[in-house]
Structure formats: C-alpha cells, structure tokens
C-alpha cells in the first residue's frame, strides 16, 4: 500500500486459544474509529478469528508460539490487517485455500477458514514458507457513511 495510513497498531500474543476472542475484539475496537456498520464489524471479526485460529491450531501444532497482528487504516476507509506466525508454514497454499480442504478432519474442522476470509473480506493474500511461517493479509474497504 503506497499511501500513508491515518492510524495503525501492532500486537503480539502467544498462541493460547483464549486469545482468539481477545484478538478479534481488539481489532474490532481499533477499527471502530472508522465508525463501521455492524455487518462490517462482524465480517472483520470473523475473518480475523479464522486467521488467528489457524495460527493457533495449525502453525504450532505441539507448542506455543507467537502471533503478530498489524492493523492499518486509510482515509478511503480501507482496513488492512496482517496476521503473521513463525510456525510450520504451508506446503501448498493453493490447495490449503480450497474450500473444504483441512489437514485435521478428525478435530471437526470444516476446512472453511480461508473460504470465510475470502467471502467476508475484499482481498485475502497468503504468503507462506514451510518451516518459516505464514502471513495472511486481509483487506476490506468500508462503505462510505451516509451524511
């Protein structure tokens, strides 16, 4: 993104599942300064929850690692969210993003996390390297407020 954000924040937390709720609430309260509509807030909260849960469940399957979330907001009401881990990474990103694909079906996972992110946000980008980690970028431009 070339322009300068009007505000930004960064948070780092360990991959305890308690932090799923905390992190989506933190992002939602940060973007509240743009005065988003209720359905925009719930779309963003759900997408963030998917990204964070993936880091907690998949990136560090047998240990506790760290998740970093960066949020930037722009004058044109664009919200930019990056969720990053230094976990196991994804071998085949294209396959991982296919709806219904999951590497842990026995844990009652639907394999729809990426599908939810894609349907609730304008743009989803995934960069990943095996044994290095994964960064998921979520972008959504909020609707203009009616005067």
Partner 1 sequence: MFTDVRVYPERTVFASIKGDIDHHTAKSIRTQIDRTINDSDPKLLIMDFSEVTFMDSSGIGLVMGRYKLMTERGGEVIISEPAGYIKKVFQLSGIDKLTKIVSDPTGYIKEDVDTINEEEQTNEAKAY
Ligand X SMILES: Nc1ncnc2c1ncn2[C@@H]1O[C@H](COP(=O)(O)OP(=O)(O)OP(=O)(O)O)[C@@H](O)[C@H]1O
DSSP state for residue 3 in the 8-state scheme = S
Site for ligand X contains 65 (CB under 6 A)? no
Compute φ and ψ for 74, nearest 5 degrees.
-120, 160
According to CB under 6 A, which one of 87, 137, 138, 140 is a site residue for ligand X?
A: 87
Site for Mg ion contains 51 (CB under 5 A)? no
| Sequence-ordered list of residues with C-beta below 8 angstroms from that of 104, at least 6 positions apart, any chain | 57, 58
50 is catalytic: yes
Site for ligand X contains 118 (CB under 6 A)? no
77 is catalytic: no
107 is catalytic: no
Q: Are 51 and 82 in contact (CB under 8 A)?
A: no
According to CB under 6 A, which one of 19, 54, 78, 137 is a site residue for ligand X?
A: 54
Catalytic residue among 19, 24, 50, 77: 50
């Amino acid at each position: 993104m070339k322009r300068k954000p009007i505000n930004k924040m960064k948070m780092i937390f360990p991959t305890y599942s308690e932090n799923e709720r905390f992190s989506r609430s933190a992002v939602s309260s940060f973007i509240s300064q743009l005065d988003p509509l209720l359905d925009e807030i719930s779309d963003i909260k759900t997408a963030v929850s998917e990204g964070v849960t993936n880091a907690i469940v998949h990136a560090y399957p047998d240990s506790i690692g760290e998740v970093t979330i960066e949020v930037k907001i722009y004058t044109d009401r664009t919200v930019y969210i990056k969720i990053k881990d230094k976990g196991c990474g994804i071998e085949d990103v294209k396959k991982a993003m296919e709806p219904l694909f999951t590497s842990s079906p026995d844990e009652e996972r639907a394999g729809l996390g990426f599908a939810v992110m894609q349907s609730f946000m304008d743009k989803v980008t995934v960069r990943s390297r095996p044994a290095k980690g994964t960064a998921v970028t979520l972008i959504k431009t909020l609707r203009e407020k009616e005067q």
